[in-house]
Amino acid sequence: MESSTGRSPDIERLVKLAKNGQILIKVPADAPSHASIEFTLLDGGADLFGTKLKEGHQYSYGPGSSFSILASDDGCTLSFTKGHRFLVKTVDAATETTDKILRSMATQAEDLRCMSECAESEHKVGPVIILVGPVDSGKSTACISLVNYAVQSSRRSEEHTSELQSHH
């Protein structure tokens, strides 16, 4: 069945990702300008570039978009309502991917940051991360993800600290 625009309408596709599962998505740069992928997080938790997806919010990405969605420890269910032909593949939790490595790096960096803050030394320097690679290899995207994870960790730490202070 075709729509009035002459294109076939997309049908909703549900994708369930297990704990730390991942789905890779690529909308080719040479795709028509109307080509896009639209999805909504229905339940669970997931990250996109180190940022938590908001449950019930619809996300849309057009030509030239290449990204992955990484499920949290709870897993998640995603609804793709447009462009699910751009889904590249799902990756199970056991497979190492860039996003999983970045999440692990962010966790380790936060641990080092906490150890530095608790140290007796006057020079409390947190971790330094240097990313090196060729042009268009994902260094900026990796930095964005690491910063987003750091912001989330700091927010949790501040909330935790506020909660502890309110009990005393």
- 58-68: pLDDT as tens digits: 999 999 888 88
Find, among 144, 31, 45, 18, the residue nearest to 83 by Cα: 31
pLDDT tens across 66-124, in order?
Answer: 888 999 888 999 999 888 788 777 777 666 777 777 777 887 888 777 777 776 666 66
Q: What length does the chain have?
A: 168
pLDDT score, position 138: 77
pLDDT score, position 155: 46
pLDDT tens across 7-22, in order?
Answer: 445 678 899 999 988 8
pLDDT score, position 12: 84
pLDDT score, position 163: 40
Q: Is 78 helix (H, G, I), strand (E, B) or coil?
A: strand
pLDDT score, position 150: 80
Q: How many CA atoms lie within 13 A of 128 on its CB side?
A: 3
Mean pLDDT of the chain, nearest integer: 77
**Integer Cα distance of 116 and 110 in angstroms:** 10
Does residue 161 have a pLDDT over 50? no
- pTM recorded for the entire structure: 0.65
Residue found by looking up tokens 């990250």 in the block: 47
- Residue 159 or 140, more confident: 140
pLDDT score, position 121: 65
**CA 149 and chain centroid, separation:** 9
Does residue 41 have a pLDDT over 80? yes
Please return the burial class of 70, using the count of CB atoms within 10 Å of its CB with bins 0-12, 13-18 and 19+. Answer: buried
Does residue 33 have a pLDDT over 90? no
pLDDT score, position 15: 92
